[in-house]
Amino acid sequence: MDTDALRWFQQVADGTTVTEVSELEGLTQPGVSRALARLERDVGAPLLQRTGRTLRMTRAGAIFKRYVDVVLHELDDGLSAVNDEMSPDSGTVVIAFQGSLGTWLIPNLLASFRAEHPDIRFELNQIRDEIAAPRLLAEGADILITTTSPRSDDVGWRPLMVEPLRLATHRDHPLAEQESIALRQASAESFVTLRAAYRLRRLTDALCQAAGFEPQVAFEGDDVPTLLGLVAAGLGVAIVPAHHTDVLERPSVRYLELTDSAAYRTVSIGWSTTRRLRPSAELFRTHVIATARQSS
């Protein structure tokens, strides 16, 4: 059904003449009349009848008009919402991010971005490491911020920063007297780690293997704050990202720099290469990359 004809019917039903409609729309009067006649055929009932020089609604027209008003109102709201979504200064950006980045990096990026673009909204989705990037983007994420960079032609990646890893120990632990440490010095310790599916756990295992030992895992958890709680209770040592040592203050925990050359993780941003980013999402992607460049 022609939405233009619905609008012209609405205008005529509200008292605008066919001549006035044609002048407003830049059309011929016969063209508007033919469109209204087609609309009546589509509906299957006469909607307008002439009374003297004026077109008035029939009973069927009055019934139909109530629904036309609702439909066109919803349509206009939908068009307005899409326009807002596609505007570079509004809309919603969907971000999927690794949980361990949610205490420092994501809040900092959002705060600096919203200072310049206060009307852009965000949908935040904390993800587990094992969920594949192409799947996340296919399910609606605009931007990924993670420490994994899988090879895929469907995903574009850009490194943002290198984050050192540190060894967390209880403050009364003998190792806590040192400012830095080689990981092999902790080979006899009990470790508290994330579960095997997490990227940080895989990094922990790889670092220990490179240092010549297999870690003795006493406890496994699902987030870094849990690991630090276990360390604070004296239940083991843990390899944690450096930024957590700044934002998660625990007086009973000491953080030692690791001198091992591979004791770091790379934080990256990802986006789909198979669909164009909405303007608001492209603005945020550009902001994240520029912020990382300024910080390096």
Rounded to whole angstroms, the Cα distance separating 101 from 148 reads: 12
pTM, to two decimals:
0.69
Q: For residue 235, how many other CB atoms are within 10 A of its CB?
A: 16
**Which segments of the chain does DSSP mark as H helices, in order?**
3-13, 18-25, 29-43, 59-86, 105-114, 133-138, 199-210, 224-232, 242-247, 279-295
Q: What is the pLDDT of residues 118-177, one digit of tens each?
A: 989 899 998 876 666 777 777 788 999 998 876 778 889 999 999 999 999 999 999 999
Strand-strand pairing, 48-51 and 54-57? antiparallel
Rounded to whole angstroms, the Cα distance separating 120 from 161 reads: 25
Q: Please tell me the CATH code under which domain 92-160+266-295 is placed.
A: 3.40.190.10
> Same fold for the domain at 92-160+266-295 and the one at 162-265?
yes
Largest separation between any pair of C-alpha atoms in the chain: 102
Residue 81 vs residues 94, 176, 202: alpha-carbon distances, Å = 16, 56, 44
Cα-Cα-Cα-Cα dihedral sign, residues 135, 141, 147, 151: positive
Whose structure tokens read 């990026």?
109
- Predicted local confidence at residue 151, as pLDDT: 73
Q: What is the pLDDT of residues 70-106, one digit of tens each?
A: 999 898 878 877 776 677 777 889 999 988 898 889 9
Q: Into which CATH architecture does domain 3-86 fall?
A: Orthogonal Bundle (1.10)
- The CATH number of domain 162-265, selected from 3.30.70.260, 3.40.190.290, 3.40.50.2020, 1.20.950.20: 3.40.190.290
Which of 206, 223, 217, 188 minimizes the C-alpha distance to 262?
206
